[in-house]
C-alpha cells in the first residue's frame, strides 16, 4: 500500500502544476520557488558562472521549539543525522560526500536546523539522494547516541563553559527573556544533555522532520526543471504530517533594569548590554509604511553607524581617539520568529573601568537621540549597509543562506529586496527617534564579565572525538 501511495503521489507531482509558485522579482530572485503536494518547498537559484552546485535542506525546528528539560535536542539530532540510516553505516554519509570531492556540514540555531553539501555539478543528484535518505530513513541506535552525546557535551565545554564570551552571552539570553524559548542555549543546558535519551532524539526526528516543515534549496550551475524532477522522485514517499502547535510565548513587560556578573577565567573584563528590539510577525510587511519595520531598519543603520570598522563612531572615538577600549561592537536583531535584542559590547583598555567605557558608549547613543545624524554621514552608512546586502547576492552560499533564514522565520523571499528599499528610505529622524525610544535604562539587561586568573581554567583532556563544526 505504501508503495502504491508513493507512485500516486509521484505521478501527481510530475503532472500537476506548481501548487505554490511565487512571482519573483529582483536580481536575487530564485529561478524556481515551489511547494510540492506533500508540503516540501523547493527553491532553486540557477547561476552558471562555475560548474559547482550547493545543496541545502532546512528544517524549521531549532532550540526555540524545545521544552524545559530537553534543551539542546535540536542540535543533538543534527549530530545524529550523520550516524547512519537503514542503508548507510555511521559516518558513511560524510565519506561518500568526501569521495565526490565535496564538502558538507550542518548547523543549528534557535529557529532552524540546516544541512548542506557543496559539490561539482555532476555530483549534485548523488548528494541529493544521500540527503533525502537520511531525511526519511534515519537510524538512531542506542550505541551511537551514547557516543555522540558525549561529543555534544564536549562541544558545550569548549564553546561555552571554557569561553568567557560564551558564558556571558548564555547568561545574557537567560536573563533578558523570561518566557520566550529564545532564552534556551542552542547547545542546551549540561544537565539536560546528561539526561537526554536516544528515544528523545527519535521523537524529535519523528515530530519535526516532515516535508511540510522542510525546504530544499539548490544553487549553482544547475537546471531548475531537472532539479525539480529529482526532488519529486526522491521525496514523493515522504508523507506530510501534522506538526505541533507553536505557542507564541510572548514576553511579559520588563519592570526594571536587569544586571548580573559572570566570573570566569579570562584575560580582560568586558560587558554586554542589551535592549529588547522590535520584531515582525509573519503577517507584517517589510514596508516603508510599517513603523515597526522602519524601527528595525533604523536600528540596523544605527548599528553600522556605531561600530563600522572605518566610520563607526564608537570605533573612531573610543578605540582610535580616546583609546578607552580595546574593542567595541553593536549588533541589531535580524528578522526572526522570536523576540530580538539590540546589543552593545565593550572591552576596556588597561586602566579604564567598565563603567567608564560603558558610560561613553551610551553617551554616543544619547547624542544621536538628541542631535540626530548629518544627512551626509547617514548617506554613507546607508550605502554601506545597502552594499553589504547586495554583495551577498554575488555569493551562492550567502544567497541560499538568506533564503533559508527568511523561510524558517516565516518571512517571504521578497523581504530581501524590500529590505534594501526600506534601507534607502531611512532618514536621520528615523534613527534619532529609535535611539530615543529603545535605549531606556529600565528596559536593558547588562552582563559584566569579571576575570578570574587564567590558572583557574579547568584542565580538559583532549577529546577523542572530533567536533563536527
Check: CB of residue 56 under 8 Å from CB of residue 66.
Answer: no
pLDDT the model gives residue 427: 92
Strand order in the sheet with 41-46: 32-35, 41-46, 214-220, 52-59, 113-120, 103-108
Measuring CA to CA, which residue among 231, 236, 233 is closest to residue 218?
A: 231
pLDDT the model gives residue 7: 30
> With bands split at pLDDT 50, 70 and 90, how would you rate the model's confidence at 467?
low
Q: Are residues 161 and 262 in the same domain?
A: no
Q: Are residues 313 and 211 in the same domain?
A: no
Check: CB of residue 192 under 8 Å from CB of residue 79.
Answer: no
Residue 33 lies in a domain: no
Count of domains observed in the chain: 2
| Length, in residues, of the chain | 469
Of 234, 269, 291, the residue at which a domain comes to its end is: 234
Residue 7 lies in a domain: no
Q: What is the DSSP letter of 414?
A: T
pLDDT the model gives residue 281: 83
Check: CB of residue 69 under 8 Å from CB of residue 192.
Answer: yes
Residue 434 lies in a domain: yes
Residue 465 has pLDDT above 60, yes or no: no
CA 240, distance to chain mean position in Å, is: 25
Residues 35-62 pLDDT 10s: 999 999 999 999 999 999 999 999 999 9
Whose cell is 558525549? That residue is: 150
- Predicted model pTM: 0.89
Tell me the C-alpha distance between 8 and 229, whole Å: 15
Q: Is 263 helix (H, G, I), strand (E, B) or coil?
A: strand
CA end-to-end span of the chain, whole Å? 41
Average pLDDT across the chain, whole number: 90
Average pLDDT, stretch 338-359?
Answer: 96
Tell me the C-alpha distance between 207 and 65, whole Å: 11
Q: Are residues 81 and 132 in the same domain?
A: yes
> With bands split at pLDDT 50, 70 and 90, how would you rate the model's confidence at 461?
low
Helices 375-392 and 428-438 cross at an angle (nearest 10°) of 90
Residue 435 lies in a domain: yes
Residue 182 has pLDDT above 50, yes or no: yes
Average pLDDT, stretch 252-270?
Answer: 95
Check: CB of residue 47 under 8 Å from CB of residue 396.
Answer: yes
Could you tell me which residue, 100 or 464, shows the higher pLDDT?
100
Domain that holds residue 316: 258-455
The C-alpha cell at 281 is 510577525
pLDDT the model gives residue 26: 45
Average pLDDT, stretch 268-287?
Answer: 92
Residue 20 lies in a domain: no
Tell me the C-alpha distance between 361 and 442, whole Å: 17
Q: Are residues 85 and 120 in the same domain?
A: yes
Phi-psi region of 110 (alpha: psi -120 to 50; beta: other; left: phi over 0): alpha
Residues 388-445 pLDDT 10s: 777 777 788 999 999 999 999 999 999 988 998 998 899 999 999 999 999 999 999 9
Residue 230 lies in a domain: yes
Average pLDDT, stretch 257-286?
Answer: 93
CA 328, distance to chain mean position in Å, is: 22
Q: Are residues 274 and 385 in the same domain?
A: yes
Q: Are residues 296 and 433 in the same domain?
A: yes
Q: Are residues 314 and 218 in the same domain?
A: no
464, with CB counted inside 10 A (0-12, 13-18, 19+), is exposed
pLDDT the model gives residue 22: 39
CATH at residue 173: 3.30.830.10
> With bands split at pLDDT 50, 70 and 90, how would you rate the model's confidence at 468?
low
Residue 459 has pLDDT above 90, yes or no: no
Check: CB of residue 221 under 8 Å from CB of residue 407.
Answer: no
The continuous run of DSSP H or E covering 45 comes out as strand 41-46
> Which CA distances in Å does 212 have to 58, 87, 115, 164, 380?
11, 24, 17, 39, 43
Concatenated DSSP letters of 290-317: -HHHHHHHHHHHHHHHHH-TTT-HHIII
Tell me the C-alpha distance between 214 and 208, whole Å: 9
Of 202, 234, 266, the residue at which a domain comes to its end is: 234
Q: Are residues 215 and 294 in the same domain?
A: no
Check: CB of residue 66 under 8 Å from CB of residue 73.
Answer: yes
Share of the chain above pLDDT 90, in %: 78
Tell me the C-alpha distance between 379 and 362, whole Å: 23
Residue 32 lies in a domain: no
Q: Are residues 310 and 424 in the same domain?
A: yes
H runs (alpha helix) in 157-223? 164-176, 190-195, 198-208
pLDDT the model gives residue 460: 64
Strand order in the sheet with 258-265: 258-265, 444-452, 270-277, 340-348, 325-331
Q: Are residues 208 and 349 in the same domain?
A: no
The C-alpha cell at 104 is 558538507
Q: Are residues 363 and 406 in the same domain?
A: yes
Q: Are residues 278 and 165 in the same domain?
A: no
The C-alpha cell at 180 is 520566550
The C-alpha cell at 117 is 553539501
Q: What is the DSSP letter of 189?
A: -
Measuring CA to CA, which residue among 86, 403, 85 is closest to residue 94?
A: 85
Residue 192 lies in a domain: yes
Residue 9 has pLDDT above 70, yes or no: no
Amino acid at each position: 500500500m505504501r508503495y502504491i501511495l508513493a507512485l500516486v503521489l509521484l505521478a501527481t507531482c510530475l503532472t500537476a502544476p506548481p501548487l505554490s509558485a511565487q512571482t519573483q522579482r529582483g536580481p536575487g530572485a530564485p529561478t524556481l520557488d515551489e511547494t510540492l503536494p506533500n508540503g516540501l518547498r523547493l527553491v532553486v537559484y540557477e547561476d552558471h558562472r562555475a560548474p559547482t552546485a550547493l545543496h541545502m535542506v532546512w528544517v524549521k525546528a531549532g532550540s526555540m521549539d524545545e521544552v524545559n528539560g530537553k534543551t539542546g535536542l535540536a542540535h543533538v539530532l543534527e549530530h545524529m543525522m550523520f550516524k547512519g540510516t537503514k542503508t548507510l553505516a555511521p559516518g558513511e554519509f560524510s565519506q561518500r560526500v568526501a569521495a565526490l570531492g565535496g564538502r558538507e556540514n550542518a548547523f543549528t540555531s534557535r529557529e532552524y536546523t540546516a544541512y548542506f553539501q557543496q559539490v561539482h555539478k555532476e555530483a549534485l543528484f548523488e548528494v541529493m539522494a544521500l540527503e533525502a535518505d537520511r531525511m526519511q530513513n534515519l537510524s538512531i541506535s542506542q550505541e551511537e547516541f551514547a557516543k555522540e552525546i558525549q561529543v555534544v557535551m564536549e562541544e558545550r565545554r569548549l564553546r561555552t563553559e571554557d569561553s568567557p564570551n560564551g558564558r556571558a552571552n548564555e547568561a545574557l539570553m537567560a536573563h533578558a527573556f523570561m518566557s520566550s524559548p529564545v532564552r534556551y542555549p542552542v547547545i542546551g543546558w549540561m544537565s539536560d544533555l546528561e539526561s537526554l535519551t536516544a528515544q528523545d532524539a527519535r521523537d524529535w526526528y519523528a515530530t519535526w522532520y516532515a516535508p511540510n516543515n522542510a525546504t530544499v534549496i539548490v544553487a549553482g550551475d544547475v537546471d531548475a526543471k531537472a532539479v525539480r524532477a529529482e526532488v519529486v522522485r526522491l521525496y514523493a514517499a515522504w508523507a506530510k504530517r501534522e506538526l505541533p502547535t507553536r505557542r507564541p510565548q510572548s514576553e511579559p513587560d520588563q519592570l526594571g533594569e536587569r544586571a548580573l556578573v559572570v566570573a570566569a577565567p579570562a584575560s580582560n573584563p568586558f560587558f554586554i548590554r542589551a535592549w529588547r528590539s522590535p520584531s515582525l510577525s509573519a503577517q507584517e510587511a517589510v514596508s516603508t509604511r510599517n513603523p515597526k519595520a522602519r524601527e528595525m531598519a533604523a536600528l540596523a543603520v544605527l548599528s553600522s553607524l556605531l561600530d563600522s570598522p572605518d566610520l563607526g563612531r564608537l570605533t573612531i572615538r573610543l578605540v582610535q581617539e580616546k583609546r578607552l577600549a580595546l574593542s567595541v561592537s553593536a549588533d541589531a536583531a535580524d528578522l526572526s520568529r522570536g523576540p530580538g535584542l539590540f546589543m552593545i559590547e565593550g572591552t576596556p583598555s588597561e586602566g579604564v573601568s567598565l563603567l567608564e567605557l560603558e558610560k561613553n558608549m551610551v553617551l554616543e547613543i544619547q547624542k544621536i537621540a538628541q542631535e540626530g545624524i548629518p544627512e551626509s554621514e547617514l548617506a554613507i552608512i546607508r550605502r554601506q549597509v545597502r552594499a553589504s546586502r547586495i554583495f551577498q547576492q554575488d555569493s551562492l552560499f550567502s544567497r541560499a543562506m538568506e533564503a533559508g533564514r527568511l523561510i524558517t522565520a516565516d518571512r517571504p523571499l521578497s523581504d530581501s529586496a524590500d529590505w534594501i528599499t526600506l534601507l534607502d528610505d531611512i532618514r536621520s529622524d528615523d534613527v534619532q527617534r529609535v535611539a530615543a525610544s529603545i535605549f531606556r535604562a529600565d528596559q536593558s539587561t547588562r552582563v559584566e564579565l569579571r576575570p578570574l586568573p587564567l590558572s583557574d581554567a579547568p584542565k580538559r583532556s583532549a577529546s577523542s572525538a572530533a567536533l563536527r563544526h
